[in-house]
């Protein structure tokens, strides 16, 4: 059954027509799919059919172990956003970006394709000055209106600076992970295991937290 009704499909088509360059999505699942893996794959198949600029490759987390390691995928379902040449953009989605999170998914694809507004020069120079490896995990739920903003900010930084990678983590799909980080309210952003930001903070606050990590 189609996930998107006609109205949503046509809305998505018109938004995605704003994409500049092509984007490849690498999806990681496994042979006997977990229910959420299957649902996410179906979502991606339908989604990618809405734009000629999107291509989808499906990988097996176990059999394509090397590919998974290259993109540092450590759990499934995982969506990795690659540019037109197949280079990793540092942007990942763990779990299905539905509900409010569809907005961060669309935004990340548009931005990765080159459709983005410039960041203020001062902020940009701080972002580019980040030299150490940074891993950002943004925990969300799909019914959270404030979460996409936190995800978009993290993904934007990943896109700008190759030392930064950023994951959306859908908390109810990865419960043990959410428990491990003590997530009790979303959005919660974890930076390199040490820094935690609670709530949707402006991108400047996120940069500050990275500088302190």
**Footprint of another protein on this chain (CB under 8 A)?**
3-4, 8, 11-12, 15, 18, 39, 43, 96, 98-100, 102-103, 106-107, 110, 141-148, 171-172, 178, 182-186, 188, 196, 198-199
DSSP letter (8 states) at residue 114: T
Residue 144 or 164: the one with the smaller Cβ distance to another protein is 144
Residue 112 or 144: the one with the smaller Cβ distance to another protein is 144
Contacts of 187 (CB under 8 A, 6+ apart): 138, 139, 140, 144, 146, 147, 149, 150, 151, 198, 199, 200
Q: How far is the CB of 212 from another protein (least distance, A)?
A: 18
Q: How far is the CB of 140 from another protein (least distance, A)?
A: 9
At 175, list the tokens.
């419960």
Q: How far is the CB of 137 from another protein (least distance, A)?
A: 15
Q: How far is the CB of 119 from another protein (least distance, A)?
A: 12
Nearest to 91 by CA among 42, 48, 151: 151
Residue 12 or 213: the one with the smaller Cβ distance to another protein is 12
DSSP letter (8 states) at residue 127: H
98 within 8 A of 104, measured Cβ to Cβ: no
Phi, psi of 74 (to 5 degrees): -120, 5
Residue 68 or 96: the one with the smaller Cβ distance to another protein is 96
């Amino acid at each position: 059954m189609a996930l998107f009704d006609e109205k949503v499909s046509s809305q998505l088509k018109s938004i995605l027509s704003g994409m500049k360059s092509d984007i490849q999505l690498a999806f990681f699942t496994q042979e006997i799919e977990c229910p959420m893996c299957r649902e996410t794959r179906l979502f991606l198949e339908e989604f990618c059919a809405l734009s000629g600029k999107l291509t989808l490759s499906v990988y097996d987390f176990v059999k394509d172990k090397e590919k998974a390691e290259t993109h540092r995928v450590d759990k499934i379902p995982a969506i990795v956003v690659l540019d037109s040449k197949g280079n990793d953009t540092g942007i990942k989605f763990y779990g299905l970006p539905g509900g409010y999170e569809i907005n961060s998914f669309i935004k990340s694809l548009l931005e990765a394709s080159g459709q983005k507004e410039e960041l203020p020069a001062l902020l940009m120079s701080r972002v580019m000055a980040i030299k150490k490896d940074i891993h950002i995990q943004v925990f969300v739920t799909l019914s959270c209106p404030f979460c996409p903003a936190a995800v978009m900010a993290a993904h934007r930084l990943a896109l700008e600076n190759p030392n930064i990678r950023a994951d959306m983590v859908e908390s109810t799909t990865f419960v043990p992970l959410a428990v491990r980080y003590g997530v009790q309210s979303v959005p919660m952003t974890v930076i390199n295991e040490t820094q935690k930001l609670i709530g949707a903070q402006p991108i400047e606050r996120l940069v500050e937290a990275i500088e302190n990590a």
